Chain A
Amino acid sequence: DVKVTQSSRYLVKRTGEKVFLECVQDMDHENMFWYRQDPGLGLRLIYFSYDVKMKEKGDIPEGYSVSREKKERFSLILESASTNQTSMYLCASSFWGLQGVGETQYFGPGTRLLVL
């Protein structure tokens, strides 16, 4: 089974702190994604990565950065946390299919972040 893990289930941080959210997948997937989930808004893509050291902006990248130094690990960084970044953060991964198209995304359990 595909396993996507996230470093914390719950996190409480202060405004202005630098926050690191870690995601690890164990299936050698090329693609990794960071979403935030808010009630009434569904999931929105923050950043994604096709390969090591590669990254692409999603729909809401402002206030976030990412790092992918190893294939299995994708980190989301909040450079200076703000209260409007209080949310559920979901990581996902997928592999490139035979036709060069990404396949089904598998999700981690999520990190619920509260910024005070």
Chain B
Amino acid sequence: AQTVTQSQPEMSVQEAETVTLSCTYDTSENNYYLFWYKQPPSRQMILVIRQEAYKQQNATENRFSVNFQKAAKSFSLKISDSQLGDTAMYFCAFRPNFGNEKLTFGTGTRLTIIP
């Protein structure tokens, strides 16, 4: 069974600063997907970024980038030039590549951007 660990229950940073959210996972699979989802207060959960394990290159989406270390089973999210709208719960999630559509989520990190 896979497990996903987010060791930072809460974080806060000043607006315009850079912040990194950590995520580690445990699996015996070789091919899989990793995701970061964002859940703003009282709003819908949306996908921030996703990474295929077979890709060496770290995924990037505008101000959001990941540091994927497959050997260390680490998948951190970096938010650059943080904005007030980045305030949200962030969940890391894992899914095997084949045979099972189930997402395994971490417990989440509550990120607050301070004006």
Contact = CB atoms under 8 A, between A and B. Distances in A.
Contacts of A41: 107
Contacts of B61: none
Given A40-B107, A41-B107, A107 B98 contact: no
Contacts of B105: 35, 42-44
B39 to A, nearest CB: 8
Q: Name the interface size band of chain A.
A: 20 to 34
A100 to B, nearest CB: 8
Contacts of B97: 101
A107 B37 CA distance: 10
A45 interface: yes
Interface residues of B, number: 23
Interface of B: 4, 6, 9, 35, 37, 43-47, 50, 91, 93, 95, 97-98, 101-103, 105-108
15 contacts: A35-B105, A43-B93, A43-B103, A44-B105, A45-B103, A48-B102, A50-B101, A101-B97, A101-B98, A105-B47, A107-B44, A107-B45, A107-B46, A109-B43, A109-B44
Interface of A: 31, 33, 35, 40-45, 48, 50, 58-59, 90, 94, 100-102, 104-110
